[in-house]
Structure 1
Amino acid sequence: MSRSPHRARAVIDANHVGRLESLADAASARLPDVAEPLFAKLATARIASGRQMPADVVTMGTALTYRDDISGREQDVILVWPELADIGQGAISVLTPIGTALLGLPVGGSVNWMTRTGHKRALTVLRLGIVSEAA
């Protein structure tokens, strides 16, 4: 029996907030379609630090498997800072629409998001892998 996915409020590591805000600020003039969702996520997220940060939440450096809820396809990725992004290796930048959508989601959490081409998508985080703070 599978759990039904749920919409969850994002939880963001307090150690990452400053850098995420700086990235959104820097992107706001040339990539507003990327910056605005990140600003919105930061404005509505619960900020947690230390022991308050849940272990089952996608944060920077998290390896994870998500399901595209429209196609049913599962994908393994790692959420990384922009300079470490390499789509060929499954390393997706937090400054992409899908990266921003994944940021802060718990296992079992779902989110609707918009691609850069304006297509609506939905995904659910299925499981987390090893977390690497270096990423």
Structure 2
Amino acid sequence: MMVNDMISYLQSELPPITLRMCDVERLRNIAEAASDKYPQTADFLAREIERAEILPDSQLLPGLIMMGSEVTFRDDISGQERCVTLVYPEAADVEANKISIITPIGAALIGLSAGQTIEFQTPGGRWRSLTVIRAYPPRDALN
């Protein structure tokens, strides 16, 4: 299978995602800024942004993962569940379960909703599959 065919195949298998307008420009800037240091993850994030449906900031969807969301997901290979908060790179803190959008897991989770599953390849070449169990909006989005 040619590389372009593989990319088309993977994109057709990816679940639909939704982003809020307020996150899109900053996420594009982060993907561009990270392209030298984390090329594979930055490229993955940029592709996710481009394929996303963009919603007005005022429209909140229950269970949608956005920046600042608290997310519980299952690693479908190990069966392990994990609860994290999706944050911008400067707020990342692994010990506090705050994962950066510029990590493979962060880039995979953004825009998904509860019940969705995504498969993706890590920079090390391993395949991962994550299923979102629940997602809570950031506290400031509720105001």
CA distance in 1, matches of 2:73, 2:14: 14
Alignment RMSD: 1.8
**SS of the residue 2:26 aligns to:** helix
Q: Is 1:121–2:128 an aligned residue pair?
A: yes
Per-residue CA deviations over 1:23-78 (Å, capped at 9, x if unaligned) read: 01111123211110011001100011134341211000000100001111100100
CA distance in 2, matches of 1:110, 1:91: 20
1:80 Cα deviation (Å)? 0.3
More strand by share: 1
1:131 Cα deviation (Å)? 1.8
CA distance in 2, matches of 1:32, 1:64: 25
Equivalent residue, structure 1, for 2:112: 105
Q: Is 1:29–2:28 an aligned residue pair?
A: no
More helix by share: 2
1:133 Cα deviation (Å)? 4.0
**SS of the residue 1:52 aligns to:** coil
Moved over 2 A (4+): 50-53
Q: Is 1:44–2:51 an aligned residue pair?
A: yes
8 Å Cα contact 2:63/2:136 also seen in 1: no
Equivalent residue, structure 2, for 1:82: 89
Equivalent residue, structure 2, for 1:66: 73
Q: Is 1:19–2:26 an aligned residue pair?
A: yes
**SS of the residue 1:121 aligns to:** strand
Give unpaired runs (5+ residues) of structure 2: 1-12
> TM-score normalised to the size of structure 2?
0.84
- Percent identical pairs in the alignment equals 38
Q: Structure 2 vs 1, CA of residues 92 and 41 (structure 1 numbering), >3 Å: closer, same or farther? A: same
CA distance in 1, matches of 2:58, 2:82: 29
1:114 Cα deviation (Å)? 1.7
In the comparison of the two structures, how many residue pairs are matched? 129
**Residues 62-71 or 123-132, more deviating:** 123-132
> TM-score normalised to the size of structure 1?
0.88
